Chain A
Amino acid sequence: DIQMTQSPSSLSASVGDRVTITCRASQNINTYLNWYQQKPGKAPNLLIYAASSLQSGVPSRFSGSGSGTDFTLTITSLQPEDFATYYCQQFYSTPPVAFGQGTKLEI
């Protein structure tokens, strides 16, 4: 099965900062990778599909890139509502679906 590893596991930043979160797959997954944002008490919310396609309604300060085994989620000009936990998820080889362990973005 494909394993997904995110780094860092937690990250401190300030409003206005640019942050990058990394996700690495245990084997080549092309661009079959999604990113989710989860806020406390809420279900995860799909941000980016297929490595770089922004979901409708997601602010343009979010972007995704990468292919193969290495992927990044970048948030430019952090806003207060962006402090949350972020997860990657592969869909190259399913089942099973595999999620990363999450990156908690804190103020």
Chain B
Amino acid sequence: QVQLQQSGPGLVKPSQTLSLTCAISGDSVSSSTAAWNWIRQSPSRGLEWLGRTYYRSNWYHDYAVSVEGRITINPDTSKNQFSLHLDSVTPEDTALYYCAEGRDAFDIWGHGTMVTVSS
């Protein structure tokens, strides 16, 4: 079955870039039916969808307005994974970050990575 394995640092300094990776097993990042998402969760903002990447003959990306301009989600076909890069982070970006698969519903989730933004 499909599994997602997250990796990345748990502590990021303010103004720096948060970078996380989600490795996929049991499916392909280039699947024409899948969508690969990043979602975060914090007490103040609840569950917040950040964005997704998906392949439909071409690569597409959608991002939440709240982080647009700071976020990049990239597929890596050579490693069958996708990544999240969030620039210019502030303490408000402190959250539990999840990767998840799904277009309409999220039925496969990574284990989550707690990221704290602090100097």
Contacts and interface: CB of A to CB of B under 8 A. Distances in A.
Interface of A: 1, 32, 34, 36, 43-46, 49, 55, 87, 89, 91, 94-102
A87 B47 contact: yes
Contacts of B112: 43
Interface stretch (B13-21, B22-30, B58-66, B86-94): B58-66
B46 interface: yes
A44 B63 contact: no
B4 to A, nearest CB: 9
A36 to B, nearest CB: 8
A83 B111 CA distance: 20
Per CB-CB distance, the 8 closest pairs between chain A and chain B, nearest first, are: A43-B109, A97-B49, A99-B47, A95-B62, A91-B104, A46-B107, A34-B105, A101-B46
B104 A43 contact: no
B110 interface: yes
B107 A43 contact: no
Interface residues of B, number: 22
A94 B104 contact: yes
A100 B46 CA distance: 8
A2 to B, nearest CB: 12
Given A95-B49, A98-B49, A43 B105 contact: no
B15 to A, nearest CB: 25
B115 to A, nearest CB: 15
A91 B110 CA distance: 20
Residue with the greatest number of chain A CB neighbours at <10 A, chosen from B48, B104, B111:
B104
B47 A96 contact: no
